[in-house]
């Protein structure tokens, strides 16, 4: 079984200026086939993680979704620390 929190953390850490300040948490969901992950990062890194028009965020979501092989839906949200 894949630990999506660790995979996501390893994906986003190299993209930030302060990798130690980035936190990934898994939250509960009302739907059983859905995984909700939150990325908490400083404001200056958050813009880099989301990207222009959300392109970086969408790429991160696509990579994680490919790990599920269509079995679950992964929701990734970005929040400022």
Q: What is the pLDDT of residue 23?
A: 97
pLDDT digits (tens, 9 = 90+) for 52-66: 999 999 999 999 999
CA 15 to chain centroid, in Å, comes to 12
Which residues is 49 bridged to in the sheet?
none
The answer to whether the pTM exceeds 0.95 is no
3-class DSSP assignment, residue 16 = coil
Which residues is 26 bridged to in the sheet?
37
Domains of the chain: total: 1
pLDDT confidence tier of residue 71, bands split at 50, 70 and 90: confident
pLDDT digits (tens, 9 = 90+) for 27-50: 999 999 999 999 999 999 999 999
Order of strands, sheet of 34-41, starting from the edge strand that comes earlier in the sequence: 23-27, 34-41, 73-80
Domain of 14 in residue numbering reads as 4-80
When mean pLDDT is compared across 18-27, 43-52, 65-74, the lowest value belongs to: 65-74
CA distance 14 to 30: 32
Q: Which CATH number belongs to the domain containing residue 66 in this structure?
A: 3.30.300.20
Taking a C-beta distance cutoff of 8 angstroms, is the pair 27, 34 a contact? no
């Amino acid at each position: 079984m894949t630990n999506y929190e660790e995979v996501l953390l390893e994906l986003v850490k190299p993209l930030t200026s302060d990798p130690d300040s980035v936190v990934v948490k898994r939250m509960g969901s009302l739907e059983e086939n859905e995984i909700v992950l939150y990325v908490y990062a400083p404001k200056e890194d958050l813009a880099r993680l989301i990207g222009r028009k959300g392109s970086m965020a969408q790429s991160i979501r696509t990579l994680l979704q490919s790990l599920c092989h269509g079995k679950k839906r992964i929701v990734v949200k970005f929040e400022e620390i």
